[in-house]
Amino acid sequence: MENPYMLRALELATLGRGHVSPNPMVGCVIVHDRKGQVSPPFGRIIGEGWHERYGEAHAERNAIRSVRPEDAHLLAESTAYVTLEPCSHYGKQPPCADLLIERTIGRVVCCNDDPNPLVAGQGFARLRAAGIQVETGILNAYGRQVNARFFTFFEKKRPYIILKWAETTDGFMGGEGGKPVKISGDLSHRLVHRWRSEEDAIMVGTQTARNDNPRLNTRLWPGKNPVRIVFDRNLTLPLDLHLFDGSQPTIVYHEVERMKEQTGVPDRSEIRQIQPIYAITSSLHYTVQDLYQRNIQSVLVEGGATLLQSFIDERLWDEMRVFRSPSLLGKGVKAPVVQGALVSREQIGEDELSMYQPTTEPGP
60 has catalytic annotation: yes
Those residues whose C-beta lies under 8 Å from the C-beta of residue 30, and which sit 6 or more positions away, are: 45, 46, 47, 48, 63, 64, 67, 75, 78, 79, 80, 81, 105
pLDDT computed for residue 271 by the predictor: 31
Clarify whether residues 177 and 211 are in a common domain: yes
Clarify whether residues 148 and 219 are in a common domain: no
pLDDT computed for residue 196 by the predictor: 97
Clarify whether residues 353 and 207 are in a common domain: yes
Bridge partners, residue 320, by sequence? 163, 356
pLDDT at position 358 over 80? yes
Clarify whether residues 175 and 304 are in a common domain: yes
Band (pLDDT 50/70/90 cuts) for residue 264 is very low
Which tops the pLDDT comparison, 120 or 144?
144
DSSP assignment string, 276-341: PEEEE-SSHHHHHHHHHHTT--EEEEEE-HHHHHHHHHTT--SEEEEEE-S---SSSEEPPPP-SE
Span 342-348, average pLDDT: 97
Q: Is residue 143 situated within a structural domain?
A: yes
Clarify whether residues 132 and 163 are in a common domain: no
Q: Is residue 98 situated within a structural domain?
A: yes
Clarify whether residues 131 and 257 are in a common domain: no
Last residue of a domain, one of 153, 184, 214: 153
Last residue of a domain, one of 107, 138, 153: 153
Q: Is residue 362 situated within a structural domain?
A: no
pLDDT computed for residue 270 by the predictor: 32
pLDDT at position 166 over 60? yes
What CATH number is associated with residue 103? 3.40.140.10
Compute and round to an integer the Cα radius of gyration of the chain.
Answer: 23
Q: Please classify residue 331 by burial: count the beta carbons closer than 10 Å to its beta carbon, then call 0-12 exposed, 13-18 middle and 19+ buried.
A: exposed
Last residue of a domain, one of 153, 182, 212: 153
In the chain, the percentage of residues whose pLDDT exceeds 90 is: 74
Clarify whether residues 125 and 183 are in a common domain: no
Clarify whether residues 236 and 323 are in a common domain: yes
Give the Å distances, CA to CA, from 357 to 161, 263, 276, 338, 354: 11, 47, 32, 10, 10
Span 271-286, average pLDDT: 71
What global pTM score does this model have? 0.89
Domain of residue 30 covers 4-153
Mean residue pLDDT across the chain: 89
What CATH number is associated with residue 314? 3.40.430.10
Residue type, 8: R
pLDDT at position 330 over 50? yes
Clarify whether residues 128 and 186 are in a common domain: no
How big is the CA angle at 251 (ends 354 and 180), to the nearest 5 degrees? 50
CB atoms within 10 A of CB 93: 17
How big is the CA angle at 322 (ends 319 and 326), to the nearest 5 degrees? 170
**Which of 22-31, 40-49, 289-298 has the weakest average pLDDT?**
40-49
Clarify whether residues 141 and 262 are in a common domain: no
pLDDT at position 156 over 90? yes
Which tops the pLDDT comparison, 300 or 304?
300
Catalytic residue among 48, 56, 60, 198: 60
Structural domain count, the chain: 2
Q: Is residue 60 situated within a structural domain?
A: yes
pLDDT digits (tens, 9 = 90+) for 180-217: 889 999 999 999 999 999 999 999 999 999 999 999 99
Q: Is residue 83 situated within a structural domain?
A: yes
Torsion of CA 218, 10, 301, 235, to 10 degrees: 70
Residue type, 134: V
Clarify whether residues 278 and 265 are in a common domain: yes
Q: Is residue 364 situated within a structural domain?
A: no
**188 within 8 A of 349, measured Cβ to Cβ:** yes
